[in-house]
Structure 1
């Protein structure tokens, strides 16, 4: 496939694989695939449609799709835990678009796979846009790619139970400071407890990484989501009026601390969304994505949309590192 050919997730239906339209049919298909990892790397994302999977039947399917299911520790998206390392995909207000991103790309480790399950489709809207990370990278101006070559520096301020944004207790799924510190130790992060109980965390991460199997270099950071400009001019102005940028729940700069221009941020956000393909949900659908090759987001919606998410990791080759990174990934 050349760089200019269209890409979209591969849709798999019961008719395609000659299985019954049920969770049992899907599990039979998955057991017969053999090397699911190779299939996913080739397709980048797979939609399983028409198998009528309910939330009550999800665990058995996830056990096949996501070996070694992970807890959503150190995540910054508002979500609730609803099962065995299964979460609501986000609780961000439905009228807003969530821009493209790779899950936990700001952390020292990230899940290799994600599964989204549509428990209830929206009345209108609510698609999950997905983007090929190599195409997203190629869509950016050379000046932007060059400026981001040294990486980005993320800063979080996690309050102690009352305040703006997420608490450190929710973020690390613990009430123990020692457990939160144990998670952060060895990750390359700098952290400190502030007098008001807030935990401030900073870390420098690469802006791109290479996939360990395909070698593809992909855009792999959340600068546009962590930067106030990514929220729009009015929201950014309101936040600046409330508190200095360094005290926001999350902020981002270039690795050397230089501010990232707002124009770069909006270019990254808008070109990612422009390059994305929408997965329009039907109740019972599942979407499996390679979390390095593919970014995801959310379109606005109406109604009582409920999409669940789970994630997993796989053993990482020693060669897995970004072009400007070595070591702890």
Structure 2
């Protein structure tokens, strides 16, 4: 693999002011470079706000997706541009594959930094094909064979993290039901207006361009053992803690 991420900078001021046009003009070459490198970093171009960022994203991948079913607290800025996960600054998010708890997941993801942090605040990225080679083959085989069962609990408007209305961008239960049926999800509407979902998704994926096998799940993010130490300690004190109505959990599919 070549430089990761592969850095692209403008050669002059005119190019710096026209990133969408640059992407469209060099689309074939950029996609080839992305396939070889795994990630592209555009540095030194003029992207001033969410509107211009959306234009840049559409220039590279016209069919942007809504954040339907997302479990992280985010805010829609405009169009199909969202804030990144809104956690407090003392929290961290493990490396993961975006929306890999669904049977199908996005082929591309775009990031844009509007206000650089004074310290830290980086968005780390990783090569999931390389990660796969570093894992115990027996573990890889287990994930490939069984997949991952995600247990997803969304409140009905008041509770921890996001409710189903924000996760699915609608107040209409039928729309949510139809979407879950399309996903083949096992779900239940509860008497308190909350929603419980079980999703079975692959543990490994075939890359959409190269078809190479890659690590592709969020088992680490959703597992109780990755919670902050104090929270994990409190949860484990509860009898049969695996049945607690946590926002999200993951288990090996037995």
Query: Quick check: TM above 0.5?
Result: yes
- Which moves more between the two structures, 165-174 or 29-38? 29-38
Counterparts of residues 226-237 of structure 1 (less than 5 Å): 226-237=222-233
- The alpha-carbon deviation at position 42 of structure 1 amounts to 2.0
Aligned residue among 177, 191, 209 for 2:187: 191
Q: Is the 8 A contact 2:72 2:161 kept in 1?
A: no
**Inter-partner Cα distance in structure 2 for 1:71 and 1:126:** 25
Aligned residue among 121, 129, 140 for 1:126: 121
Structure 2 equivalent of residue 77 of structure 1? 72
Counterparts of residues 32-111 of structure 1 (less than 5 Å): 32-35=25-28, 36-55=30-49, 56-111=51-106
Counterparts of residues 132-281 of structure 1 (less than 5 Å): 132-149=127-144, 150-241=146-237, 244-246=241-243, 247-256=245-254
More strand by share: 1
**Inter-partner Cα distance in structure 2 for 1:162 and 1:177:** 16
- The alpha-carbon deviation at position 103 of structure 1 amounts to 0.7
RMSD: 1.9
Q: Encode CA deviations 1:289-319: one digit per residue, 9 max, x unaligned.
A: xxxxxxxxxxxxxxxxxxxxxxxxxxxxxxx
**Inter-partner Cα distance in structure 1 for 2:20 and 2:104:** 29
Q: Which runs of 4+ in 1 moved over 6 A?
A: none
- The alpha-carbon deviation at position 144 of structure 1 amounts to 2.1
**Inter-partner Cα distance in structure 1 for 2:135 and 2:33:** 29
Q: Encode CA deviations 1:15-63: one digit per residue, 9 max, x unaligned.
A: 2xx5635332x22321221424333222211010001211142232222
| Structure 2, unpaired ranges of 5+ | none
Q: Encode CA deviations 1:94-133: one digit per residue, 9 max, x unaligned.
A: 1122110111000122111111111010000111111100
Q: Which has the higher contact order (CA 8 A, sep 6+)?
A: 1
* Count of residue correspondences: 249
The structure-2 alpha-carbon separation of the partners of 1:189 and 1:108, relative to structure 1 and needing over 3 Å to count, comes to: same
The structure-2 alpha-carbon separation of the partners of 1:27 and 1:212, relative to structure 1 and needing over 3 Å to count, comes to: closer
- The alpha-carbon deviation at position 7 of structure 1 amounts to 5.1
The structure-2 alpha-carbon separation of the partners of 1:23 and 1:114, relative to structure 1 and needing over 3 Å to count, comes to: farther
Q: Is the 8 A contact 1:106 1:205 kept in 2?
A: yes
TM-score, length of structure 1 as denominator length: 0.71
Q: Is the 8 A contact 1:23 1:61 kept in 2?
A: no
